[in-house]
Chain A
Amino acid sequence: MLCEKCKMREANIRYTEVVGGVKTEYNLCSHCAREMDFGHYSAVFDTDYPIGKLLAGLFGLDADGGENDEFDVNQVTCPTCHTAYSDFVKDSRFGCPDCYRVFDLLMSENIKKVQGSDTHTGKRPLYNREGGQEGAGEDEETRLLKSIEILDSRLKEAVQEEEYEAAARYRDEIRELKERLGEHA
């Protein structure tokens, strides 16, 4: 079972809470449980730990974002396997290797949160002779265009919400992508 909060890690902590005779169960990963500031992680082993108030605002977290008028990131869909970004968020599972390219910019922050990094440093395949450069060029261009489109809509959103710091970051990323697009053209 996946953690109810981040929906990315395996839930390994189950809290059972009885309030007013109603029993509720929460499944969280150790990371989220810790972040929730439940006070003591040792609660895992204590059955009668009071956590009621701490959970109050917790599960509304998923409700924000995505509903904006002109561009909905949840609609971004992988052309190869037809997994929509909203499916990925829901199941926290990819449909095919191409999903990583399509959702790259949308999810990289989340992956960073879960993994603490977003760049592989370990072993590389010895025998991947294909993975060729010819076909990849076109893919790369499409990918960049798509990413720019997404970032652009996020930039507009950020400006609207007066989140200038975020806006500046999006602007920088867009500039960088456009430069890379130029190299490809």
Chain B
Amino acid sequence: MLKWYQETENQHDVFVASRIRLVRNLTHCPFPVKLSGEERKKLAEKLEEGLKDIGSVCRKDFRRISLSAAGGTEREALRERRAIGAAGAAEEGMESLLLSEDETVSITLAGDDHVRLQCMSGQAELSRLWEEADRLDDYINERFPYAFHEKYGYLTAYPTNVGTGLRAAVTLHLPMLSAGKRFGKLVAEIGRFGVAVRGVYGDGNETYGSLYEISNQKTLGVTEEEVITLVKQMADRLAASERKMKSVTLKSHRTDMEDEIFKSYGVLRYARKLNLKEAMTYLSQVRAGEMEGLLQFKEPVNICRLMTEIQPANIRMLVPEEEENDLNQARAAYIRKLLPELV
């Protein structure tokens, strides 16, 4: 079965993915940080047992992954695919994970909070994802009463999640906008509405591949619908600016743009070694080129899938152990294999 990020994009667009995340905690139980390793394990087992039929709610098959037993590379690979958060990838970050086969639904147990529920997809559909998360949330709550406070709402380990416990996020591909001088100002403007813009992939200092996630910062005093509307609005605004900038550039600098895009395609098609930054930069160009119809492939290809699968831990999981010492080589080979010829 294909995972959500592997499905062929039906429409190449600025919108790349949507994500809804809820954090919840049980009554009468300290947050995991205050639990011993043994207690965490017991808590995770209790939750797993209670949620063993959760697949019936969204008609998906789930598998259980013991994160405390999984290796660092596997955890990191899950984080790169955004099935778990950064905290979960850390050593002893969380106990276990219930992951749907297509990786759209992930429920992490005994991490920072008792339950972290996430629904993801490759479409612009925050509202549908919220409906799904809402249903799953009720299902969990039916089995486990939640810690809830009249004033503060759903109680969470961090005060930055309290209230709705909701993070609504949209991933956008912004190659033109993010290269421009005004991007910082635009991000700041959006920040004033309580919406954050973060690079999805990069090395901590620099964003690679121009994928940005737009998400709400506030979780208290706003309803779920308000949060989703706000994030949608801001994402639409950024997407509109990106499209506008692209069409202006296409008019004024068409040859320059084509040149960059075809060069990028050429490198990806023939390079023998690619480090992460190179690969992400060229893939981003190629995606922009395809979106504008400048590049036409013989077969459909999902560039965002490539962007995910060439991340360090994922590429390491893909190659046999003996080749592990040269990830750049493996990365280039993988891209050559999946990138189709031009028409």
Contacts and interface: CB of A to CB of B under 8 A. Distances in A.
Nearest to A110: B159
Given A96-B34, A121-B222, A131-B27, A30 B146 contact: no
A93 B157 contact: yes
Contacts of A146: none
B63 interface: no
Given A41-B187, A123-B164, A126-B138, A114 B159 contact: yes
Interface in A71-112: 80-81, 83, 92-97, 100-101, 104, 107, 110-111
Contacts of B164: 120, 122-123
Given A111-B162, A122-B153, A97 B220 contact: no
B337 interface: no
Interface string B165-188: 010000000000000010111011
A48 to B, nearest CB: 13
Contacts of B221: 115-121
A89 B217 CA distance: 20
A12 interface: yes
B11 interface: no
Given A31-B217, A34-B191, A119 B151 contact: yes
Contacts of B224: 122-123
Contacts of B145: 125, 127-131
A129 B181 CA distance: 55
A120 B27 contact: no
Interface residues of B, number: 54
A36 interface: no
A30 B187 CA distance: 10
Contact of B218 (A83, A101, A116, A129): A116
B152 A125 contact: no
A117 B218 contact: yes
A111 B159 contact: yes
Given A116-B218, A124-B148, A129-B145, A83 B191 contact: no
B96 interface: no
Interface string A123-154: 11111111100000000000000000000000
Interface string B115-158: 00000000000000000001001100110011111111111111
A176 to B, nearest CB: 14
Nearest to B221: A117
Contacts of A95: 30-31, 33-34
Interface string B12-29: 000000000000010111
B339 to A, nearest CB: 30
Contacts of B163: 115, 117, 120, 122
B155 A100 contact: yes
B264 interface: no
B220 A44 contact: no
A171 B96 CA distance: 49
B143 to A, nearest CB: 8
A42 B183 CA distance: 7
Contact of A115 (B28, B137, B219): B219
Contact of B142 (A12, A34, A126): A126
B88 to A, nearest CB: 15
A45 interface: yes
A131 B157 contact: no
A94 B31 contact: yes
Given A97-B155, A122-B163, A122-B224, A42 B134 contact: no
Interface of A: 8-10, 12, 14, 30-31, 34, 40-46, 80-81, 83, 92-97, 100-101, 104, 107, 110-111, 114-131
Given A42-B183, A115-B163, A122-B163, 7 more contacts: A45-B183, A81-B31, A100-B149, A116-B218, A117-B221, A130-B27, A131-B148
8 contacts: A10-B160, A12-B196, A40-B188, A42-B187, A100-B149, A114-B160, A123-B134, A123-B223
